[in-house]
Amino acid sequence: MGKWGRALDAAGIHEPRLRDDYGQLRKQAAAFKREIVFAADLLLPNHLVPHLITAIAFMHATDNLLDSGPVAQRKEAYTRWEHEVTGGLADGRTGNPRLRPLLNSVTAYPVLRERVRDYLAGATTDLDFTGFATEADYQRYLDAYSLPAFMLGATLLGPDGDQTAYRAGCRLYIDASQRLDFVNDLAEDLADDRLTLPEQTLEQYGVARADLERKRDLPAVRSLITGLLDHVDETLAESRAVIGHVPPAHQPMVRCLISLDELTVAAARADISALLHRSAGLSKPAAARLLVRAYVEARRVRR
């Protein structure tokens, strides 16, 4: 039996059909965030891994519905999905193999029920996204969509009981991580006619949307991107305080999440102008070294 089978056993997931459902979600989550799934397998206690991966897969499945296709089609698909999820939460039953693991994980971790509802309540924020006029608009988007999406999985890593201070730390982290995603995915988003940087920020640096769309490698454009990455680095450094709110067995995973984003910032800084054409890729050797260090830490904590 492999590590995944041992994780399912540790989580009390024994029924063959349900084990297969969890396995399918693991494949979907790995296609979306391979490094996060690998880190979870490596760093977390076995009993938690299937539930965290299910939360990640659910978020990704919902996000795909919000992002794929014409707006009217997306709204219709999301409405059906929301109805199916909320019905499953209410009844505790579903015939959908994509939802069976989620309902089982909600039974194992009841706090997930409210996190799923929080996420669904703000999901249309992304569906209706048309850009940010100001930094304040971006911050409202974080509270309505990005933070609830992140807390789907993050709540499982946090302390038992009151998570107020932990959630505040997660808010700092997701501010940095979401801003990094928007900077790193700038070329891809503009190709889809989405500008995810606040217009107010562009004006501060003297950059026009057309400069970004036409991939103009101007000093002002490089200054804009560098300034945004500086902001990300500062916020990531502040967010490290969240590690102190996490149980010791989960700290290597949380520290790894933050460090992976720091590596992505470093990759983006290596060629600022390239971000006008493509996303910066994570350095595989650097990521491997990071995971080895985190694994050594996780082993030490478990002893």
pLDDT at 60: 93
Q: Kindly state the average pLDDT of the residues 119-126.
A: 90
Spatial distance between the Cα atoms of 59 and 188, rounded to a whole number of angstroms: 20
Contact 134, 198 (CB under 8 A): yes
* CB neighbour burial string for 265-297, b if at least 16 within 10 angstroms, e if fewer: bebbeeebeebbeebbebeeeebeebbeebeeb
Give tens-digit pLDDT for 259-290: 999 999 999 999 999 999 999 998 889 999 99
Give tens-digit pLDDT for 23-71: 999 999 998 888 899 999 999 999 999 999 999 999 999 998 888 778 8
- Other beta carbons within 10 angstroms of residue 93's beta carbon come to 10
Give tens-digit pLDDT for 124-141: 888 878 899 999 999 999
- Give me the half-sphere count of Cα atoms (radius 13 Å) on the Cβ side of residue 12: 7
Output the six-digit token pair for 103: 């309902």
Output the six-digit token pair for 250: 């989960």
Q: Is the pLDDT of residue 1 over 70?
A: no
Output the six-digit token pair for 202: 């562009």
Spatial distance between the Cα atoms of 241 and 251, rounded to a whole number of angstroms: 11
Domain covering 1-109, topology: Farnesyl Diphosphate Synthase (1.10.600)
Angle, vertex CA 66, rays to CA 65 and CA 69, nearest 5: 75
Of 288, 224, 228, 299, nearest to 259 by C-alpha is 288
Q: Kindly state the average pLDDT of the residues 10-22.
A: 97
For the entire predicted model, the pTM comes to 0.94
Q: Kindly state the average pLDDT of the residues 218-232.
A: 98
Give tens-digit pLDDT for 150-185: 999 999 999 999 999 999 999 999 999 999 999 999
Of 161, 77, 172, 85, nearest to 121 by C-alpha is 85
The terminus-to-terminus CA distance of the chain in angstroms comes to 23
For the chain, what percent of residues have pLDDT higher than 70?
A: 100
pLDDT band at 2 (very low <50, low <70, confident <90, very high): confident
For the chain, what percent of residues have pLDDT higher than 90?
A: 86
pLDDT at 39: 94
According to CATH, where is 1.10.600.10 located in the chain? 1-109, 129-303
Contact 57, 26 (CB under 8 A): yes
pLDDT at 137: 96
pLDDT at 70: 81
Q: Is the pLDDT of residue 3 over 70?
A: yes
Architecture of the domain spanning 129-303: Orthogonal Bundle (1.10)
Could you tell me the CA-to-CA distances from 282 to 13, 148, 187 in Å, in that order?
34, 25, 17
